[in-house]
């Protein structure tokens, strides 16, 4: 590839974090290529809440608006194709795509994670509408109605306390799998949360929510079923980069240091890939931090050393 084709920064992932990083770099007139699969994590959700200025707008509409902003910067290009491999080192990274290879001096991993739901009939169809991951994102719209939790470990009690305290007085906790902890019965009783020690075997959509059937025949009506899905890196090649990871409550995420540097010089990361909470506003903040850091590392590379991976 000719020197003129060398990108200053390649951003893998064009959702909230990746596009925000591109905006910072575009304003510095740096040559940036964004690669996106078109499958954002919250695509199934009809609205993104808690996003200042965009509260309640569809996630796709917000991303389209940010892409529209990027169109004003001629050094930024957005490509609707996946990156399938990454090799090389700082100032000479090589990205593999279906359309060929791209060279870049810096790389930002903003490719996020994917959610792996329990294999329960009907659950996947409700993901993002009545099967929900976050009360801050979705709780206000269904507050005061019957709410439920798919218990898959001790985090379920954390969710139960939040929902019962500020979103609804009618909360049910389904002990679906995993150990809820030794004090689950006492804690749910103290909270006034109904504990059902029988797994969920079927979920059927109903107007305003879903009908949940448990293995013992119990049927619950719910406006929202909250659960923590298992997560994995959305881009499989990330696991082969040798980067340090941390264990989150649902799956691994990348370990980063100040300014979102990783353990390899020249590789930064942003968004859901570096934090266990999938919320839009932190992803936007990550993008701004990481975009400016990647830019400044082009000027002062010694100020952005990789983290120690011990």
| Residues with pLDDT less than 70, the chain | 1-4, 309-310
Same domain flag for 51 and 186: no
The answer for residues whose C-beta is within 8 angstroms of residue 182's C-beta and 6 or more apart is none
- For residue 19, the domain's CATH number is 3.50.50.60
> Is the residue at 308 inside a domain?
no
> Is the residue at 263 inside a domain?
yes
Domain final residue, candidates 226, 261, 289 = 226
Domain membership of residue 90 as a residue range: 3-114+230-303
> Is the residue at 216 inside a domain?
yes
Same domain flag for 25 and 101: yes
User: In the prediction, which pLDDT does 105 show?
Assistant: 98
> Is the residue at 310 inside a domain?
no
**CA neighbor of 23 nearest in space, from 60, 80, 69:** 69
Q: How far apart are CA 231 and CA 114, in angstroms?
A: 5
Same domain flag for 236 and 215: no
Place of tokens 């609205």: 47
> Is the residue at 211 inside a domain?
yes
Domain final residue, candidates 161, 191, 226 = 226
> Is the residue at 19 inside a domain?
yes
| DSSP characters over 100-157 | EEEEEEEEEE---EEEE----TTHHHHBTTTEES-HHHHTGGGTTS-EEEEE-STHHH
Q: How far apart are CA 32 and CA 50, in angstroms?
A: 29
Same domain flag for 19 and 167: no
CB atoms within 10 A of CB 295: 20
User: In the prediction, which pLDDT does 2 show?
Assistant: 42
Same domain flag for 137 and 207: yes
Same domain flag for 25 and 167: no
The predicted-structure confidence for 188-246, as pLDDT tens digits, reads as follows 999 999 999 999 999 999 999 999 999 999 999 999 999 999 999 999 999 999 999 99
Burial bucket for residue 124 (CB in 10 Å: 0-12, 13-18, 19+): middle
Of all helices (H) and strands (E), which one includes residue 91? none
Q: How far apart are CA 113 and CA 105, in angstroms?
A: 24
Positive or negative, the CA dihedral 156, 162, 167, 170 is: positive
> Is the residue at 278 inside a domain?
yes
Q: How far apart are CA 111 and CA 93, in angstroms?
A: 17
- Count of the separate structural domains present in the chain: 2
Same domain flag for 183 and 251: no
Same domain flag for 235 and 261: yes
Instruction: Name the β-bridge partners of 10.
Output: 33, 107
> Is the residue at 44 inside a domain?
yes
User: In the prediction, which pLDDT does 279 show?
Assistant: 87
Same domain flag for 104 and 239: yes
Same domain flag for 234 and 219: no
User: In the prediction, which pLDDT does 310 show?
Assistant: 56
Domain final residue, candidates 186, 203, 226 = 226
Same domain flag for 162 and 73: no
The answer for residues whose C-beta is within 8 angstroms of residue 42's C-beta and 6 or more apart is 48, 59, 128, 278, 280
Alpha helices in the chain (DSSP H): 16-27, 59-70, 123-126, 135-138, 155-166, 184-191, 280-299
Query: Are the C-beta atoms of 93 and 106 separated by less than 8 Å?
Result: yes
Same domain flag for 252 and 107: yes
């Amino acid at each position: 590839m000719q020197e003129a084709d060398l990108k200053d920064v390649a951003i893998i992932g064009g959702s909230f974090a990746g596009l925000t990083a591109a905006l910072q770099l575009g304003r510095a007139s740096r040559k940036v290529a964004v690669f996106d699969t078109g499958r954002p994590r919250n695509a199934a959700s009809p609205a993104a809440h808690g996003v200042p200025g965009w509260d309640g707008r569809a996630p796709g509409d917000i991303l389209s608006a940010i892409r529209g902003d990027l169109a004003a910067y001629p050094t930024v290009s957005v490509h609707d194709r996946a990156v399938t491999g990454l090799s090389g080192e700082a100032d000479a990274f090589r990205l593999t795509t279906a359309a060929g290879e791209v060279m870049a001096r810096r790389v930002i991993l903003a490719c996020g994670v994917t959610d792996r739901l329990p294999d329960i009939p009907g659950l996947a169809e409700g993901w993002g509408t009545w099967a929900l991951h976050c009360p801050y994102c979705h709780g206000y719209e269904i507050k005061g109605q019957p709410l439920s939790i798919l218990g898959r470990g001790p985090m379920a009690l954390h969710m139960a306390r939040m929902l019962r305290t500020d979103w609804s007085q009618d909360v049910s906790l389904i002990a679906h799998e995993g150990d809820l902890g030794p004090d689950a019965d006492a804690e749910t009783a103290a909270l006034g949360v109904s504990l059902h020690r029988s797994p969920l075997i079927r979920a059927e959509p109903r107007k305003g929510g879903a009908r949940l059937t448990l293995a013992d025949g119990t049927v619950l009506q719910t406006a929202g079923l909250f659960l923590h899905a298992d997560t994995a890196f959305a881009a499989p090649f990330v696991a082969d980069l040798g980067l340090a990871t941390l264990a989150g409550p649902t799956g691994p995420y990348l370990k980063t240091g100040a300014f979102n540097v990783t353990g390899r010089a020249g590789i930064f990361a942003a968004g859901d890939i570096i934090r266990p909470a999938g919320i839009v506003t932190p992803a936007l903040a990550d993008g701004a931090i990481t975009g400016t850091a990647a830019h400044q590392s082009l000027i002062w590379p010694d100020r952005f050393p990789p983290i120690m991976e011990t």
